[in-house]
Amino acid sequence: MALTIVEHTRVLIVGSGGNGIATAVCLQQAGITDFRILTKHDEFGGTWYQNTYPGCAVDVPSSAYQLGCSLTDQWTATHASQAELAKYLQQVATDFGLYERTHFRTELLSAEWVDDRRRWSVTTNNGIYTADVLILVTGFLEEPSVPKINGATEFGGRIFHSSLWPRGYTGQGDRVAVVGTGSSSLQIVPAMQKVASSVVVFQRTPQWILPKEYRQFTEEERRQLQEPEVLHKVRDEVRRNMEQMWSAVFVGDDPEVAAAVEAEARKHLESQVIDPELRRLITPTHRLGCKRQGISDDYYPALQAENVQLVPEAAVKINGSTIVSASGRSFEVDTIVLATGFNFGGSILSRIKRRDGVTVGDYQQGHPRAYKAVTVCGCPNLFLVGGAGPNGQSWNGLGAGEIVGGYIAKALTWMRENGIEAIEVLEAAELSWKRNADAILARGASIAGGCGANYSLDEHGYNKAAWPGTESNMRRELSVFDHTAYIAIRGVNSVACDGRTPN
């Protein structure tokens, strides 16, 4: 590995998904142009570049799933496919000149704050980058969660995680096992059902599924969407609906609405699945939202097709070419798809060293936190965006980038105007914000919903994923840079931004 310093920039943005793009655009629009983007991928698009399994598509309406700085009228259907989404994000990156500012195939391995130089030193596989400000936009569904299945390494056929789909593999004529029944599986199973000779689906926990109501736009609708007022109206309406569901289900603000959403999922199941025994096997016993609910029109029909079999058990073992369920049922297969999810947020905070040399992961001891999901005590000039920040997720996978990007731009502008070299959030502010977030989210389905484990929970059972409110609330909370929550460093002096002397 080369250890030369590649370059110094004012700002280093790590991540090239939708939120990385949005953050870069926000900085640009605020006149902050001395930045570099690093990404381990070889293209823009993040999750929509990485996940290419057959059937991959957004499961919330695409009219709302786009950046406000670059609305598009090009969607061909209510829910855009992975290819359409990747193309859209790459187009935005092109339009804003981001390719020239990006070093691809460059992964952050570790980063440390160099106190006497007031800068971050970032070690990558391509050398060291330094920057005054480090922004992590590394996503929350980046690091595959692969269950321990005995014998997996000796399997003679193909075995892979859903996010590492082999290029060109179609499943045509194969005997395919799909492990897991989360949102990825709900898209993979119908796609495999169409082409594979058989599909066996391992379901450890049933999950609630809402109808997607997917359809292609008519020519007339596509023409109407070219009118900016129509585009905004449709987008705002979808956003309102999604926000209402998010706040009722995940934040636990409105039990009546949450019950109505669950009733809709139950109705969907009952209308699509006739066989009472199958219904029983796939009906969840937890509250909707305890695990992120599925959204699909074609999963239940696929499950009832002749070539598909549901195994309502975990996959625990592989013997040669056979995959074995918890009760010992064996299935001979050619391919095993591990649709087994992700480690939320990944290990990024364990790669970042605080001012005192301890990693954020070690310091926070399994209870990840950041002030307003953005700044971390002990880490001057570090900003987290979206899922890189604990509690940075809202209903809209692309919303946080624009909101937090705007907050960061305001912070950097405030620093410039006040001659401040570095800011660091006060620990008291961070802890108090997180305490409040934990209390709010304790009412939501992820904790109170009765499903036991889910990927939102930290080692202590707190929700590390969700913003504790609606996206509108996130926008309000981050609409100004609240400098009184920070210590500012100017020259050799550090002062609390409200004038107090810091601890």
* Residues forming the site for ligand NAP (CB under 6 A): 57-59, 141, 147, 162, 179-185, 187, 202, 204-205, 291-292, 314-315, 339-342, 455
Residue nearer to ligand NAP on the CB measure, 289 or 378: 289
Whether the CB-CB separation of 206 and 283 falls below 8 Å is answered with yes
In angstroms, the CA 428 to CA 152 distance is: 47
Residue length, the chain? 503
Q: Determine phi and psi for 231, rounding to 5 degrees.
A: -60, -45
Residue nearer to ligand NAP on the CB measure, 312 or 378: 312
Q: Determine phi and psi for 102, rounding to 5 degrees.
A: -115, 135
The residue sitting closest to ligand NAP, measured at its beta carbon, is: 182
In angstroms, the CA 203 to CA 288 distance is: 17
Q: Which residue, 220, 284, 266, is CA-closest to 452?
A: 284
Residue nearer to ligand NAP on the CB measure, 400 or 420: 400
In angstroms, the CA 55 to CA 388 distance is: 26
Residue 95 CB neighbours (<10 A): 12
The least CB distance from residue 163 to ligand NAP, in Å, is 7
The least CB distance from residue 338 to ligand NAP, in Å, is 8
Residue nearer to ligand NAP on the CB measure, 424 or 458: 458
Residue nearer to ligand NAP on the CB measure, 37 or 209: 209
Across 158-306, where does the E strand assignment appear?
Answer: 158-161, 175-179, 198-202, 209-210, 294-295
In angstroms, the CA 442 to CA 463 distance is: 8
Residue nearer to ligand NAP on the CB measure, 314 or 457: 314
Residue nearer to ligand NAP on the CB measure, 45 or 380: 45
The least CB distance from residue 18 to ligand NAP, in Å, is 12
Whether the CB-CB separation of 140 and 286 falls below 8 Å is answered with no
The least CB distance from residue 86 to ligand NAP, in Å, is 13
Phi-psi region of 143 (alpha: psi -120 to 50; beta: other; left: phi over 0): beta
The least CB distance from residue 140 to ligand NAP, in Å, is 8
In angstroms, the CA 96 to CA 23 distance is: 12
CA count, 13 A, side-chain hemisphere, 382: 29
Residue nearer to ligand NAP on the CB measure, 58 or 485: 58
In angstroms, the CA 59 to CA 350 distance is: 31
The least CB distance from residue 367 to ligand NAP, in Å, is 21
The least CB distance from residue 422 to ligand NAP, in Å, is 34
Residue nearer to ligand NAP on the CB measure, 58 or 191: 58
The least CB distance from residue 448 to ligand NAP, in Å, is 17
Whether the CB-CB separation of 453 and 385 falls below 8 Å is answered with no
Residue nearer to ligand NAP on the CB measure, 25 or 290: 290
Q: Parallel, antiparallel, or unpaired for β 108-114 and 119-124?
A: antiparallel
CA count, 13 A, side-chain hemisphere, 134: 30
The least CB distance from residue 172 to ligand NAP, in Å, is 22
In angstroms, the CA 312 to CA 202 distance is: 6
The least CB distance from residue 181 to ligand NAP, in Å, is 4
